[in-house]
Structure 1
């Protein structure tokens, strides 16, 4: 397997867990947050749903500058729209990833900036791996939100405490 094939396989595995987690986000708790410094559940869930689309930014561009292109979250008003956003992001991201080659992944760079401040300067491979890590990180955050609302958590890399009879 080459790097592209490995990344596609990893993306396919991660999306299955992400689907399970996002399916649990209740419409009536979109504005809920566990702490004043936390983002509302809707914002977190939208961010998670958008990350599988990041290969577009990474593979088709050399720089993402938030000063020049401020981020605006995709609009969703319910869980169905959230899951539709995830599928749209995943479909686009996977399609672009499948069309890339190892030379691009290893020898081309991508930067994330805020004006003159460089937030990340990575190979395209490293940037894609970073996006996968972001999915895992934010999915774990969402798991805490759900746990605090007494919503059973599905397993990610094996069964969760809610999947077993403890």
Structure 2
């Protein structure tokens, strides 16, 4: 096991790699959010589960809170961006896209040294700022998977996520072999 501390160069490369990958995850998350029927957003599969809308808001809002916390080098419970909370699935997709761009640009603007700044996460973790991007990615994918399982019981279609779904089959690229 290495005890070598991460370098600023590593922090920059890690941040860029994680955000470039998360850019793709955000597009997939927007597809899932867009599938929530507005008239079924109170659906919950179990009395102890969140409603579809609560879960959708948790995904979008928490992604932005994570990014803003990283950019601020400090996590806070409140999220000023949540003041304009969306009321429909289409508004949520738009809100998420706008705020993701704003917040991820702020993280991209951090210096390599700032990316190595330790940030306390509510007494649970104390990690270099850049490392929270991995936690953000895992958290978002986990809850997006939960939300995707709500869609069919709500009468909605489930989009492809990492491959085709029944409702959105995988499309092979046209063959380009020369004869």
Could you tell me the TM-score, scaled by structure 2's length?
A: 0.76
Aligned-pair distance for 1:42?
Answer: 1.0
CA distance in 2, matches of 1:70, 1:89: 11
Number of the residue aligned with 1:31: 42
Distance 1:13 1:70, change over 3 A: closer
| Unmatched tracts of structure 2, length 5 or more | 1-11, 171-179
Number of residues paired by the alignment?
157
Is the 1:3–1:102 Cα contact (8 Å) retained in structure 2? no
- Specify which of 35, 56, 61 is matched with residue 50 of structure 1: 61
Whichever of the two has the greater Rg, that structure is: 2
Deviations 1:100-139 (A, max 9, x none): 233322x2112221xxxx1232221221211111110110
Q: By percentage of residues, which structure has more strand?
A: 1
Maintained 8 Å contact 1:52/1:93: no
TM-score (norm 1): 0.82
Residues 128-163 of structure 1 deviation map (CA, whole Å, 9 limit, x = unaligned): 211111110110010111132242211212222433
Q: Does the CA contact (< 8 Å) of 1:50 and 1:85 recur in 2?
A: no
Q: Deviations over 1:56-109 (max 9, x none)?
A: 112213343x4xx5999653221122112211221122211221233322x211
Cα distance in 1 between the residues matched to 2:42 and 2:111: 41
Paired residue for 1:78? 88
Of 148, 160, 164, the residue aligned with 2:165 is 160
Q: 1:91 aligns with which of 95, 101, 113?
A: 101
Please name the residue that 2:121 is paired with. Answer: 112
Moved beyond 3 Å, runs of 4+: 69-74
Where does structure 1 lack aligned partners over 5 or more consecutive residues? Answer: none
Is contact 1:51–1:89 with CA below 8 Å preserved after alignment? no
